[in-house]
Structure 1
Amino acid sequence: MNIKKLLVLITLLVPSTYAAAQVSNAEKDSLYIKEVEESKEPVKVLHAEPLYIDLIRDLGARKGEKEWNLGFGLTDNLEFDSYEALVEYEWAPVDRLGLEVEVPLTFYSPLNGVSRDSIPSNEINSLKIAAQGSFFVSEPLATSMALGYINEFELSPFRSFGKPLITGNVYNPFFVIAKRWGNNYHSLIYTGPVFEQHFETNKIHTSYDVNTSFHYMITGTKNFLGVELNKTFNDGDFDMTVRPQMRVGIADNLLVGIVAGIPVSRENERFSSFLRLIWEPKHHEN
């Protein structure tokens, strides 16, 4: 009698054990990818977003998505340290379109022996408004593309604040293409010209940015490790900063990103660091 009961128990357990093994194998696929992509419209592909030069909104944004960012940075220059801060809000009013408003600030501290009058003045750098539209989203190719535009109203420094209030304008159209390789590896190119117009002289200065990034996203999480390569071509000059980075989820909808900056060919800048807090309120679908 006991043997029969044992055989029945084994028979019942074997399918359960097999199913558990199947679940374990399925967990090799990223749970986060499934959360973003499965059973939702319109189609959206998960991509790792760089932390320093971030996107206006996720590629393939869905209506109702929104996000708050707080950023804090420190840059070691030859004659002074600069402390950066930013407040940023981004949202998707309709599918595929992201909008953003950002206010960056910079404060400067002279190094020993350097006069404060010889360094830049503390300032609210600008008021940035931006839009980004995803025009290609392919799940089979795990690829997304977008066009965007940033308009930056440059403000006067605190030493002469309001005289005038707006000192110039920056026009920055850009193109983004991102590709996910398998479940965990991500690459992205963010590139475009930057036209800086100074109202006092009415001259326009042109440079060109090419920002590339590569990330490894840890399976089943929102965490990743990666690197940004921020490159600028400017009047025959070339500047590049390598930014190794990591992102860690500290709550269901709260992330922290940590970035280091290593200049490769910058004459006046040394090492830098940057911290980004990302809060994404719950997205209630219609």
Structure 2
Amino acid sequence: MLVSTRKMLKEAKKKGFAIPSVNFVDQITGKAQLEVAEKYGLPLILSYAQAHRAYQSIEEAALLGKFYIEKVKVPVALHLDHGMDIDFIKKAIEAGFTSVMIDASQKGIKKNIEMTKEVADFAHKHNVVVEAEIGHVGTGVNVGQGETDVDDDSIYTTAEEARQMSEQSGIDSLAVSIGTAHGLYKGTPKINFARLKELSEAVKIPLVLHGGSSSGDSNLEKCALNGIAKINIYTDFVVNAYKNLQNNDYDDYFAAKKLLENGIKNTLENYYKVFHTQKI
């Protein structure tokens, strides 16, 4: 059933677990992810990133997302991930997304708050919740987007900036930077758990972690149990789906499709355990 992230993230924050936010780039990924959520009776955030327009349009993502979400009985939010411009975010809201992220993290704090507040004011009129980002989660090796070896340029979130953003912008959740990066890593990242503790104490709204893929199960488990209510995963899905295809024999399109689906399903099943996700 289609819901917003408001209730599920409040529950996750209150009870000390995290909910996976999983990017879907086509019918195969979205359908497989939702089948796992339904199988275990667990909440899910089905996300579509503005950067993934190369794989499916926002109109296609809205139609596919809502179609499959309406087939399941568990609470699922349809979320716009990393909305980079306000017009695109408004388009997502009008298309039926129940949650949106405005990513103005590379702007100065004043401009970030200004842009975020404009989105929050518009979104709340449509009963849509808003996520923003303070600090900046850098980029490792992206899969399928033509990037090969980009240096991580993460900028840690400070408690004071997080407090300013949460109090002045009207957002519902906040993505923070504590040592992860988008994409793949050459090694396991070092998470600043002391900073996470500061941030958890500084703001009342749920906290979000981006760049969860290949961050290490123990790191992510500790984040989920210590103040992070939503963890974003994308790269691990496409990498593990492809590995499952490579490691098994197949002789036609449908067999290949099933292997891809199983790689996606296994990934989400693992992260549900790592994040200690509970029923809502």
Shared fold (TM-score, shorter chain, > 0.5): no
When the two structures are superposed, what TM-score results if normalisation uses the length of structure 2?
A: 0.30
When the two structures are superposed, what TM-score results if normalisation uses the length of structure 1?
A: 0.30
Q: Which has the higher contact order (CA 8 A, sep 6+)?
A: 2
Q: Relative to total residues, which structure has the larger helix share, 1 or 2?
A: 2
Q: Relative to total residues, which structure has the larger strand share, 1 or 2?
A: 1
